[in-house]
Amino acid sequence: MLFNNLLTMIGNNKILVIGSDHAGYRIKEVIKNYLLLKGYKIRDCGTFSEESVDYPDYAHLVAADINDNNEHTGILVCGSGNGVCITANKHQSIRAALCWTTEIASLARLHNDANILCLPARFIDSETAINIVNTFLNTNFEGGRHERRIKKIPL
């Protein structure tokens, strides 16, 4: 079953680190509650309301955690997904990917070994977000020719 595969892949030591700005707050909460029901360990870096905040503050918190704990996986949400993605990718070991379809999420993992999923809250609904999250968490890096390319990313 899909959910058993997700739990097996994440394992007991993996933590999902999530964060959002005010525009992404509602979808972040939907994702967090869904994943908690499925048994995931979640570290929520905020924000904790729809009050206006600056997306870099939360993107840096999530990216720093993933950068320091490479066994963790991240999810970031803002209005377009662009702001959190750009910010997260400033961290050396981060490969954040903006995904608005399951196909893009699958390729982000297969070819780019993305370790942070970025979602555009103003352009997807909650059901789509959950499907993208499931795809991202259920897809493994393909390696091979893509490994060589991944190694060329850091400066």
pLDDT at residue 116, rounded to an integer: 98
pLDDT at residue 133, rounded to an integer: 98
Please say whether the structural domain 14-151 has been given the CATH code 3.40.50.300.
no
Give me the catalytic one of 22, 60, 72, 111.
Answer: 111
Kindly indicate the confidence band of residue 8, based on its pLDDT and cuts at 50, 70 and 90: very low
pLDDT at residue 155, rounded to an integer: 78
Q: Which of 8-17, 38-47, 81-90, 116-125 has the lowest mean pLDDT?
A: 8-17
Kindly indicate the confidence band of residue 76, based on its pLDDT and cuts at 50, 70 and 90: very high
Is residue 74 predicted with pLDDT exceeding 70?
A: yes
Starting at the edge strand that comes first in sequence, how are the strands of the sheet with 116-120 ordered?
42-44, 16-20, 73-78, 116-120, 96-98
Kindly indicate the confidence band of residue 10, based on its pLDDT and cuts at 50, 70 and 90: very low
- Residue 60 falls in the annotated catalytic set: no
Closest CA to 138 of 58, 71, 87, 73: 73
pLDDT in tens, 82-129: 999 999 999 999 999 999 999 999 999 999 999 999 999 999 999 999
DSSP 28-83: HHHHHHHHHHTT--EEE----SSS---HHHHHHHHHHHHHH-TT-EEEEEESSSHH
Q: 4 or 62, which is more confident?
A: 62
Instruction: Round the average pLDDT of the chain to a whole number and report it.
Output: 91
If you average pLDDT over residues 57-83, what whole number do you get?
Answer: 95
Kindly indicate the confidence band of residue 13, based on its pLDDT and cuts at 50, 70 and 90: low
